[in-house]
């Protein structure tokens, strides 16, 4: 089988390194301290061009500018450059605003484009349907984060338009992982190093590695889409067919997503599909299925936390209830738009581990505002059915006071942590079967003018996007990547049937499992993208 991926970063890591192309392997050096080598499953190359060519027919490569919140991170700015090819001077320049976000975007783009030019017999950069060659690795550009077009005093939207004049851009994610101007983001950061006095390596005495960040720059602020964000969406959708860029709702806050859904109706853009490029699911509906331990205070703080009850999935799995994931209503909106949902390989996204309270911008948690998540939570009982929800593995940390707030998330080295007897691949299958069930229960079965849900899902792995990828048999050093994806497909061929038996009364339509896996890993994404390129998608 050839493969498709809706969200894969073949050049991001190499673009941040010294003298690396997208063909080269990025890795933590063998002489690095043992605790740092434990990050290899995140830092080492997962899907560069060498790893994808010959296996994949089409990948969507989102260009992204490393945010300053990351460049200020101690692990990234001081430690990794000593034990890898990461460019210390570049990171320092990003941190101190000596390199614009647009320049960072162009560096990622140039790294990829120049690397493709080295082997035109094997790889092609696709800007139009006539460029497509099924015998090569086809690469189509996207952009993750509208912040990537900021450059001095210039207009970022105009910079985006100029970029689109040079390249066909499949989709734009309006926001990413830190505070930026276009939209409030959904909380979900990656790495934190704090001073704790627990590390025994002399070179890095007093360092502890934890899974996500502590900087307030990673916490959401504001209220939904801003006028700048609306201008970006206008530049995406209010275009001729050959200039349309799809909107990726990944990373948008719940509030911002609701605003966007209303905006596309008001502007009559409903025939243009919606993308969720690399996602998981909360497992809940907004209609009486989303529960928190307590409601947040209504005033007095810039940020606040919601402590969710987790919805149980199939077997011993549980969902990740953070709003970076999609609610049932999000799924139905995307299917109604005839859009595409990419399933992430990120362990935390698919719910394979303990969770922590989610951080929100307090301005978005208004109980009487129908765009707010609290509007729906306040209508639910605070005492859910314990047979369907659990909270035992939720860890309460931090403070409601933003000045003292720290989000100490789980230690990667001590096990970002599968749930007992649950592998991350099992959690992935739980997410897959959930989206299928939601679609089929609501009539998305290919009849009565509705699409079939099995035709509108694909892989959006986020490989090489600094994720802790799915692992095989609880082995964090034996992870799913571009080289091992065949093994994942073989495992899913068996395990999907096993998981479906936990819900014996529902027909997931997996009798022809080989056909369904081909749709998921290849056909759906390729067919959708070709329609985008030839204009028949709209």
Q: Enumerate the β-bridge partners of residue 171.
A: 246
Distance CA 381, CA 11 (A): 47
Give yes or no for a contact between 130 and 138, defined as CB atoms under 8 angstroms apart: no
Q: What is the residue range of 107's domain?
A: 3-534
CATH number where 483 lies: 3.20.20.140
This prediction has a pTM of 0.91
pLDDT tens track, the chain, 538 positions: 999 999 999 999 999 999 999 999 999 999 999 888 888 889 999 999 999 999 999 999 999 999 988 887 767 888 889 999 999 999 999 989 999 999 999 999 999 999 999 999 999 999 999 999 999 999 999 999 999 999 999 999 999 999 999 999 999 999 999 999 999 999 987 444 443 334 344 443 333 333 344 467 888 999 999 999 999 999 999 999 999 999 999 999 999 999 999 999 999 999 999 999 999 999 999 988 888 876 665 555 688 888 888 999 999 999 999 999 999 999 999 999 999 999 999 999 999 988 878 889 999 998 889 999 989 986 666 678 877 888 645 444 433 333 332 333 233 333 344 444 578 999 999 999 999 999 999 999 999 999 999 999 999 999 999 999 999 876 656 899 999 999 999 999 999 999 999 999 999 999 999 999 999 999 999 999 999 999 999 9
Give yes or no for a contact between 62 and 136, defined as CB atoms under 8 angstroms apart: no
**Local structure of 398: helix, strand or coil:** coil
Question: How many domains does the chain fold into?
Answer: 1
CA Rg, the chain, in Å? 22
Residues 6 or more apart whose CB falls under 8 angstroms from that of 373 comprise 254, 255, 286, 290, 306, 323, 360, 364, 365
Torsion angle in degrees (nearest 10) through CA of 444, 445, 449, 451: 70
Distance CA 96, CA 44 (A): 26
Give yes or no for a contact between 304 and 382, defined as CB atoms under 8 angstroms apart: no
Residue holding tokens 């792995």? 461
DSSP letter at 147 equals G
pLDDT of residue 379: 67
Pick from 519, 456, 453: which is nearest to 492 by CA?
Answer: 519
**DSSP calls for 322-381:** -TTSBPHHHHHHHHHTT-EEEEP-BTTTTT-S-B-PEEEEGGG--TT-TTSHHHHHTTS-
**DSSP calls for 87-101:** -HHHHHHHHTTSS-H
């Amino acid at each position: 089988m050839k493969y498709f991926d809706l969200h894969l970063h073949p050049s991001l890591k190499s673009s941040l390194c010294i003298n690396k192309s997208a063909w080269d392997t990025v890795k933590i050096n063998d002489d690095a301290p043992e605790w740092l080598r434990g990050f290899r499953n995140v830092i080492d190359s997962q899907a560069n061009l060498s790893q994808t060519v010959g296996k994949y027919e089409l990948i969507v490569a989102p260009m992204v500018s490393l945010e300053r919140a990351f460049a200020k991170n101690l692990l990234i700015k001081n430690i990794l450059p000593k034990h890898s090819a990461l460019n210390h001077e570049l990171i320092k320049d990003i941190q101190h605003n000596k390199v614009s976000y647009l320049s960072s975007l162009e560096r990622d783009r140039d790294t990829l484009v120049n690397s493709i030019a080295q082997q035109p017999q094997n790889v092609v950069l696709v800007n139009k349907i006539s460029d497509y060659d099924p015998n090569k690795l086809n690469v189509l550009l996207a952009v993750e984060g509208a912040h990537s077009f900021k450059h001095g005093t210039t207009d970022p939207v105009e910079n985006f338009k100029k970029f689109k004049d040079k390249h066909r851009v499949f989709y734009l994610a309006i926001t990413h992982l830190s505070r930026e101007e276009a939209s409030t983001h959904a909380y979900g950061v990656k790495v934190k190093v704090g001073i704790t006095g627990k590390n025994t390596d002399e070179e890095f005495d007093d360092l502890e590695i934890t899974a996500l960040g502590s900087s307030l720059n990673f916490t959401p602020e504001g209220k939904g889409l801003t006028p700048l964000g609306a201008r970006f969406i206008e530049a995406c959708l209010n275009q001729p067919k050959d200039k349309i860029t799809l909107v990726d709702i990944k990373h948008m806050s719940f509030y911002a997503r609701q605003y966007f859904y209303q905006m596309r109706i008001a502007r009559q853009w409903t025939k243009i599909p919606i993308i969720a490029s690399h996602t998981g699911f909360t497992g809940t509906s907004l209609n009486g299925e989303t529960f928190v331990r307590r409601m947040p205070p209504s005033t007095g703080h810039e940020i606040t936390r919601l402590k969710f009850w987790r919805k149980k999935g199939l077997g011993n799995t549980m969902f990740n209830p953070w709003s970076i994931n999609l609610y049932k209503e999000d799924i139905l909106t995307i299917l109604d738009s005839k859009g595409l949902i990419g399933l992430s390989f990120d362990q935390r996204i698919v719910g394979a581990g303990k969770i922590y309270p989610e951080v929100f911008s307090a301005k978005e948690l208004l109980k009487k505002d129908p765009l707010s998540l609290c509007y729906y939570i306040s209508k639910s009982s605070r005492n859910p059915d314990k047979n369907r929800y659990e909270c035992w593995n939720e860890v309460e940390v931090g403070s409601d006071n933003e000045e003292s707030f720290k989000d100490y998330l789980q230690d990667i080295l001590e096990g970002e942590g599968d749930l007992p007897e649950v592998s991350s691949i099992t959690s992935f299958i739980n997410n897959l079967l959930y989206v299928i069930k939601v679609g089929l229960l609501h009539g998305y079965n290919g009849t009565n003018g509705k699409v079939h849900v099995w035709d509108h899902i694909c892989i959006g792995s986020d490989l090489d996007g600094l994720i802790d990828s799915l692992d095989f048999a609880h082995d964090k050093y034996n992870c799913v990547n571009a080289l091992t994806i065949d093994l994942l497909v073989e495992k899913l061929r068996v395990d999907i049937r096993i998981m479906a038996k936990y819900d014996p009364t529902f027909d997931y339509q997996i009798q022809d499992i080989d056909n369904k896996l081909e749709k998921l890993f290849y056909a759906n994404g390729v067919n959708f993208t070709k329609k985008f390129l030839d204009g028949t998608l709209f």
